[in-house]
Chain A
C-alpha cells in the first residue's frame, strides 16, 4: 500500500472541511446535543433515584461511547458519499488508486473526524455533568478501540451497500446504528434481552464493551478476555465488511455500474 494515494483521500477531506466549515458542524453538534440531553436526564435520575446507581456514569458514559461508534461509521460513510455526491467515481477508479488505499483513506478520515467529536463530548460531559470517565482506567482504551473498530466495519459495510444498491440507498444506511443499539445493550444489561436478541448481541462487539463498562462501574473486576474477544470479533467484522466492499466493487466493474455511477445514475 502506498502512502501518497491514502494521503490524497485525507487531503480531500481536509480541503472539504476548510472550504466549507459548516461541514464540521455534524462532527460535534449532534454529539453535543446528545450529551446535554442525556446529561440532564442522568442528573435528574441521580436526584430522584434511591437505587444507588450512578446514572451519570452509566447512562451518559454509554451515550458517549455509543455516539463515538456511530460517528466513526458515519464519518467513513460520509467520506465515501462525498465521491457519490460529486460524481467522482470514474475519476477515482480509473486512476492507479487501489481499493485498499481508498478504503484506508476513508477509515483514517473517519477516525480523524470522530476524534474531534470525542474531544467535544468529553469537554462537555466531564466538566459540565461530572462524568468521571477516566475512572474506568486502562480498560477504557480497549473499549474505545473495540468501538472504533466496529464503527469502521459498519462504515465499510454501509459504503458497500451504497455502491451496490445505488445512491438512494444512503437512507438505508444512516439508521444502522439505531437499529443495532437495542442489541448492543447500550443502556441495560444483556440479561434483560430475550434469548434470540442475546444471541445477536454476542455477534456485536459493542455489547461486550457496555457489559464491561457496567461491570467496572459496579465495582466488579475487569474481564480482559471478553474485551479481547470483542476486539478480535470487530477485527473479523472489518475483514468481512472489506471483503463485501471488494465483492461489490468487482461486481460494479463487471456489470458496468461503476462507469455509469458517475455518468448516469447519480442525480
Chain B
C-alpha cells in the first residue's frame, strides 16, 4: 500500500498518525480556527495550505500542545493530546522557521540536548546518523547562531527526526533552502514517510513543492477548510491551470461555506 493511492479515511482511520476533530480556537471575538477536522494517515504527507492568517500555525500549535483549543479533540496515534500530552509528544516532532534552535549551543550540543528531552535511546549513535544524513558533520561543533539559514534548517530537520517520530509537523521546512538543498530535503522527507510510516503535516507557500511532495492537501481560509484533495487533481477539478493559480483564486475569493465551495 502506498499513501499516495489511498485516502486515509478509507483504511487508516483507526490507526491515524493524527486525528483532529472539530477543532476550534477563539481569541475573544476572533475565531482563528473554525471547526476543522482532518486526519493524517501513517506514511501520508498532508499539505496544509492557506494565505497568511488562515489558521495553519494555530492548528500546528494546538497539535503541539502549546496552545489550548477552545473545543475539539486532537489524537496523536492513540493518545489524546489534552490528556496524555507528554506521551503524545514523545512520538511527535516538528520543525518551523520561527522556532530556531538555541544559537548559543553547537549543532551537536543541540541534538544531544533535545535527544535527552525526547528520551532517544542510543543517542550518540542517532546523532551521528543524523549528522551524516543532513551533511552536518563539518558543522557539528559550530554554534547554531552563526549558521546560515539553510544550515539552520538542516539542523532543525535533524532535531525533528531525533526521536523517529510517528507524526512530523513541518512548517515551511524548505523556506530558507536553495533549490538543490530543498530538493534533497523533500527527497529525505518522502523517504521518511514511505519507509517509517511517519505521518507528516506540511505547510508551505511553494505550490510546486506541495504538488511534488504532498499526497493530499487541505486549503484553509479564515480558519475553515475550503477544499481537500489530491494536489495534482484539484486544479483541474476547479478550473485552474495549476495549484498556485487555485491557491490565488481561493485566497482572493470571499469565504464561502465549505459545502458551497465543494459543490
Residue numbers of A with Cβ under 8 A of B are 2, 4-5, 7-8, 11-12, 15-16, 19-20, 82-83, 86-98, 250, 253-256, 258-259, 262-263
- Residues of chain A within 8 A (CB-CB) of B102 are 12, 82-83, 86-88, 91
Closest to A262 in B: B99
Q: Does B219 interact with chain A (Cβ within 8 Å)?
A: no
In the complex, what's the smallest C-beta–C-beta distance from A14 to chain B, in angstroms?
Answer: 9
Q: In whole angstroms, what is the CA distance A92 to B103 when docked?
A: 14
- Judge whether A11 and B94 touch: CB under 8 Å: no
Q: How far is the CA of A90 from the CA of B117 in the complex (A)?
A: 13
Footprint of A on B, CB under 8 Å? 27, 57-58, 61, 64-68, 85-87, 89-90, 94, 96, 98-106, 109, 112-114, 116-119, 143, 159
The binding surface of chain B is classed by DSSP as mixed
| Contacting residues, chain A, for B143 (C-beta < 8 A) | 19
Task: Tell me, in angstroms, the Cα distance from A91 to B105 when the chains sit together.
Answer: 14
Q: Check A94 against B27 for contact (C-beta < 8 Å).
A: no
A94/B117 in contact, CB under 8 A: no
Query: Closest Cβ of chain A: how far from B84's Cβ, in Å?
Result: 10
Cβ contact within 8 Å between A96 and B68: no
Shortest Cβ distance from A98 into B: residue = B86
Residue of A nearest to B69 (CB): A254
CB pair B98 A263 closer than 8 Å: yes
Partner of A256 from the list B61, B89, B112 (CB cut-off 8 Å) is B61
A12-B67 in contact (CB<8A): no
Most chain B CB neighbours (cut-off 10 Å) among A91, A254, A259: A91
A256 lies within 8 A of B27 (CB): yes
16 CB-based A-B contacts, threshold 8 Å: A8-B114, A8-B117, A12-B102, A12-B113, A15-B106, A91-B102, A92-B117, A94-B61, A94-B65, A96-B85, A97-B117, A255-B27, A259-B61, A259-B66, A259-B67, A263-B98
Contact of A4 among B66, B85, B119 (CB under 8 A): B119
Given contact pairs A11-B116, A19-B104, A93-B65, a sample of 7 additional A-B residue pairs in the complex whose CB atoms are under 8 Å apart: A11-B112, A88-B101, A94-B89, A254-B68, A258-B66, A259-B57, A263-B98
Expressed in whole angstroms, the Cα–Cα distance for A87 and B57 within the complex equals 17
In whole angstroms, how far apart are the Cα atoms of A90 and B112 in the complex?
17
Query: Are the C-beta atoms of B96 and A19 separated by less than 8 Å?
Result: no
Kindly report which residue of chain A lies nearest to residue B27, judged by CB atoms.
Answer: A256
Contacts of A92 in B (CB 8 A): 117
Does B116 lie within 8 Å of A256, measured CB to CB? no
CB of A262 within 8 A of CB of B119, answer no
Q: Are B68 and A12 in contact (CB under 8 A)?
A: no
Contacts of A95 in B (CB 8 A): 89, 114, 117-118
In the complex, the answer to whether A96 meets B118 with C-beta atoms within 8 Å is yes
In whole Å, how far is A254's beta carbon from the nearest beta carbon of chain B? 5
- Residues on A with C-beta less than 8 A from B113 are 8, 11-12, 15
Question: Are B66 and A93 touching (Cβ within 8 A)?
Answer: yes
Whether the pair A87, B100 counts as a contact (CB closer than 8 A) is yes
